[in-house]
Amino acid sequence: MSARILEFVRPGEFDDVATKAMGEAFDAAYRELHDRGQPPIVREVLANRIIEAAKKGERNPDRLREIALAAFPSHQR
C-alpha cells in the first residue's frame, strides 16, 4: 500500500482493503500524470477524488484511478 495517500486520510477512516485499493489507485494515477515536478495541489486533487469515491464504496483500484484522473481534462477518455 502506498504511504503517499495516507497523508490525506484520517487514521481509522478506512479498512485495510480500502486503503490498499486507494494507495494503488493514487500511485497509478500519479504515475500516469508523470509524477515528476507536479505541484502539491495535484496530489491533493488526486487524493481527494479517490477518498470521496472510496467513501461511496468504490474499492476497485482501476476505477478509483479513473475517477481521480477525470479531474484532469488531458486524461479523460
Determine the Cα–Cα distance for residues 58 and 37; give it in Å rounded to an integer: 29
Residue 77 lies in a domain: no
More confident of the two residues 72 and 65: 65
Determine the Cα–Cα distance for residues 72 and 68; give it in Å rounded to an integer: 8
- For residue 75, what is the DSSP state? G
Confidence of residue 2 (pLDDT cuts 50, 70, 90): low
Confidence of residue 3 (pLDDT cuts 50, 70, 90): low
pLDDT tens-digit profile of 6-29? 999 999 999 999 999 999 999 999
Reference 74, options 32, 41, 46; nearest CA is 32
> What's the domain range around 66?
5-72
Residue 44 lies in a domain: yes
The model's pTM is: 0.87
Tell me which residue has cell 495535484: 42
Structural domain total, the chain: 1
Residue 15 lies in a domain: yes
Residue 67 lies in a domain: yes
Beta carbons within 10 angstroms of residue 13's beta carbon: 12
Residue 36 lies in a domain: yes
Residue 77 has pLDDT above 60, yes or no: no
8 Å CB contact between 43 and 1: no
